[in-house]
Structure 1
Amino acid sequence: MDWNNLRYLVEFKRTGTLLAVAKRLEVDATTVSRRIRSLEASFGLDVLERGPDGNLVLTEAGVRAAAQAEQIDQLVADLQGDLVDAKHRVTGVVHLSAVPMLVKRILIPQIAIFSAKYPELTLHLNADNRNFCLTNRETDVALRLGRPTEGGHSLKAYRVGLMTHAVFAPEALSGDAVDRLSWLGYQHEMQNLPQARWMEDNVAGLGGEFASTRFYDADTAIEAVAAGLGKTVLPCLVGQKDARLQQASEPLPDLFREAWLIHRAEDAKLARIQVVCQWLADLFRGNQCDAAKPI
């Protein structure tokens, strides 16, 4: 039996004429008649007959078949509706990785608002300086401070903003006291950081000197500044959000970092991936960053 033929029987039950069925299903009357005859051949029974007035009506077998076929039609419609809902329903788990500074200073303060909006979505936050591999499914979404170089067409990447930088000092100090502060630099193995390189290139020319203590990551440097140990260069969107710090310079024109958002191309249509990516793009857009642009 061709299950598609049952649609014609169901529509005949609903409309009462072959012409009405043809109009409803957007076919010609000949097609409707052929489908009905094919259905009768598969049943070995007539489903239509001529009534006393000469018009076609359902036989007893046709009435039973149409009633059950209508239930099947409704089940299929319900299934299609459920699948559409599931496609757009924001649920499941998303693994999100970023450097600790961004996780702690940008993401975590906004998690409660995001979770309240999407209560069925679970975020697994991976705060780590290493780059988790998306193609090996170590993470689902990665927030990176630099243009991605791996993955090719298997990954989709967006630049969500340009992170400007400035000098930050303890909040309570006056201008003269800030000028006298030592600079908080980074350990030798972290000299690849743009803010570390900028300080190495410029501190001496500014008449400053480095403190005897050096740090491995920006998150620890922030705590050192807050504790009054010195001043350092930080991303504006991070330093400006910390009430313990004050911005002690204009944004440095020759120092910025690109923020990139990456996920697997095959996941682009998943609702949970879409809402996480939009949330992250909005966070950066709200911090003087460029709108997200795909590549």
Structure 2
Amino acid sequence: MQELDWDDLRYVLSLARTRRISGAAKKLGVNTTTVARRIARVEELLRARLFEHNAGILTPTNCGQIVISRAERIELDVDAVKESVTNADRVEAGKVRVTAMPLLLNHILIPALPAFLRSHGRLQIELAADPRNLSVTNREADIALRMARPDSECRLVARRVAMFDYAVYATSNMNHALPWITYDATWSHLPHTRWMAKAMASDPESEASVRVNDSDLALHAVRAGLGRSLLPCRIADKIPELYRLSGARPVLSREMWLIVHPDLKHLARVRAVMSWIEQVMT
């Protein structure tokens, strides 16, 4: 048996409102034969007569009134969907999920978030703190901040929003006496992990006292006095108890990239958050 769909019900509603085949045809932009055929199809599917002729006017039967009433509810739902999608393009409202490593969320985005939300009261921000790269392609997040340009997700829209300088920090200025706080083997490919590996290799007396799997953990370990580590200058320079051990010039710089799915970049709520992140990062 064939299924009844919304397009069928559009013909029923148009005929109910115009009461004439010709009027429904004009409203729908089709010919009268098409209207008559579609009404006959609905009546055949429902096995009920929906309209009866009365002095040249088509009047709904009892069954027709039931179908019309239900179809009007569906019409309202369909219009609501269209309006929601249309407004999503224009109105800065709704949820936006942002993912970044915990260090960036905790020390850069979250401190700036209250002011942003005060001026964008209809936005809801979901923050996903994860040192891994959550997939924007698979919609694990709407926006991602990454310390490298994506190379495997070619459909994504990516723009560089900042450069992050790194230096060596500790709570003591006793540089060579301090052990290193570095990263476990999972993160050995990262530029700042490789830099510390080279630094330890060049100094036979140096060693790693703590290994972590996240930059925010490294920062907390340094602040606890457990040793020295390579940290973003933008964050570490603002912490009074930390010393920059490697000198005034940064020893490493990394790019910060903002990533968004191309299907989402036109949405007003996503554009608003992207613009805010760019302002915060610059």
TM-score range, shorter chain: 0.5 to 0.7
Alignment match of 1:225 (pick from 222, 232, 257): 222
Aligned pairs for 1:62-101 (under 5 A) are 87-101=89-103
Displacement of 1:135: 2.2
CA distance in 2, matches of 1:83, 1:185: 47
CA distance in 2, matches of 1:141, 1:276: 9
Gaps of 5+ in 1: 4-81, 286-295
CA distance in 2, matches of 1:118, 1:104: 20
Alignment match of 2:141 (pick from 118, 139, 143): 139
Instruction: Determine the structure 1 residue equivalent to 2:159.
Output: 158
SS at match of 2:92: coil
Displacement of 1:84: 8.3
Structure 2 residue 196 is the aligned partner of structure 1 residue 193 = no
Contact 1:145 1:260 in 2 (8 A): yes
Contact 2:222 2:228 in 1 (8 A): yes
CA distance in 1, matches of 2:90, 2:236: 37
Contact 2:182 2:212 in 1 (8 A): yes
Aligned pairs for 1:118-133 (under 5 A) are 118-133=120-135
SS at match of 1:274: helix
Residues 190 and 135 (structure 1), Cα distance of their counterparts in 2 relative to 1, 3 Å cut = closer
Instruction: Determine the structure 2 residue equivalent to 1:252.
Output: 250
Backbone CA RMSD of aligned residues? 2.5
Residues 143 and 210 (structure 1), Cα distance of their counterparts in 2 relative to 1, 3 Å cut = same
Displacement of 1:114: 1.3
SS at match of 1:129: coil
Instruction: Determine the structure 2 residue equivalent to 1:283.
Output: 280
SS at match of 1:272: helix
Contact 1:160 1:259 in 2 (8 A): yes
Residues 119 and 212 (structure 1), Cα distance of their counterparts in 2 relative to 1, 3 Å cut = same
Sequence identity (%)? 35
SS at match of 1:138: coil
Please say which structure displays the higher CA radius of gyration: 1
CA distance in 1, matches of 2:204, 2:249: 19
* TM-score normalised by the chain length of structure 1: 0.62
CA distance in 2, matches of 1:243, 1:114: 26
Displacement of 1:166: 0.6
Displacement of 1:136: 2.0
Displacement of 1:113: 1.3
SS at match of 1:203: helix
SS at match of 2:163: strand
1:31-90 residue CA offsets vs partner (Å, 9 max, x unmatched) = xxxxxxxxxxxxxxxxxxxxxxxxxxxxxxxxxxxxxxxxxxxxxxxxxxx998764321
Alignment match of 2:150 (pick from 142, 148, 151): 148
Instruction: Determine the structure 2 residue equivalent to 1:28.
Output: none
Displacement of 1:250: 2.6
Residues 83 and 225 (structure 1), Cα distance of their counterparts in 2 relative to 1, 3 Å cut = closer
Displacement of 1:122: 0.3
Alignment match of 1:269 (pick from 239, 255, 266): 266
Contact 1:96 1:125 in 2 (8 A): yes
Gaps of 5+ in 2: 1-22, 28-83
Residues 243 and 90 (structure 1), Cα distance of their counterparts in 2 relative to 1, 3 Å cut = farther
Instruction: Determine the structure 1 residue equivalent to 2:14.
Output: none
CA distance in 2, matches of 1:269, 1:260: 18
CA distance in 2, matches of 1:85, 1:188: 47
Displacement of 1:178: 3.7
Displacement of 1:208: 5.4
Displacement of 1:213: 2.5
CA distance in 1, matches of 2:107, 2:281: 12
